[in-house]
Amino acid sequence: MLDTLTMFGFGPEGWGPAMLRAAANTVAVAAAGFALGGGLGILVAWAKIAGNAPLRWLAAAYTTILRGIPDLLVIYLFYFGSGLLLTPIANMFGVEGFVSFPGFVAGMGAIGVVSGAYHAEVIRGAFYSVKAGELEAATAMGMPRLLKFRRITLPLVARHALPGLGNVWQMVLKESALISVTGLVEIMRQAQIGSSFTRQPFTFYFAAGVLFLTITILSGLIFNRLEHRYSRGRA
Partner 1 sequence: MDFEFLGQTFLKLLPGIPVTLELATLSLLLGACLALAFAVIRVRRIRPLNWLVIGYVYVFRGTPLLVQMFIIYYGLAQFPEIRNSFAWTYLREPYWCALLALVLNTAAYGSEILRGALLSVPRGQIMAAQACGMSGFLLFRRISFPIALRQALPAYGNEFILMIKATSLASLVTLADVTGIAARIIAETYRPVEVFVAAGTIYLAISYGLILLVRLAETRLNPDQRDPAPVARVDAARKEVTP
Alpha-carbon torsion angle 226, 232, 234, 235, nearest 10: 130
Q: What distance in Å separates the CA atoms of residue 118 and residue 175, rounded to the nearest whole number? A: 13
Compute the least distance from the CB of residue 87 to partner 1, in Å: 8
Residues that bind partner 1 (CB under 8 A): 64-65, 67-74, 76-77, 79-81, 83-84, 98, 173-178, 180-181, 188, 191, 195, 199-203, 205-206, 208-209, 212-213, 216-217
Q: CA 210, CA 221: separation in Å to the nearest integer? A: 17
Q: Smaller CB distance to partner 1: residue 25 or 203?
A: 203
CB-wise, 69 or 137, nearer to partner 1? 69
Work out the angle between the directed axes of helices 16-50 and 53-68 (0-180°, nearest 10).
150
Buried b (16+ CB within 10 A) or exposed e, 166-203: bebbbbbbebbbbbbbbebbbbbbbbbbbbeeeebeeb
10 vs 57, beta carbon nearer partner 1? 57
CB of 121 to partner 1, least distance (A): 11
Shortest Å distance, C-beta 208 to partner 1: 5
What is the smallest separation between the CB atom of 98 and partner 1, expressed in angstroms? 7
What is d(CA 109, CA 148) in angstroms, rounded to the nearest whole number? 31
Q: At its nearest, how many Å lie between partner 1 and the CB of residue 34?
A: 15
Of the pair 83, 149, the CB lying nearest partner 1 is at 83
Nearer to partner 1, 67 or 145 (CB): 67
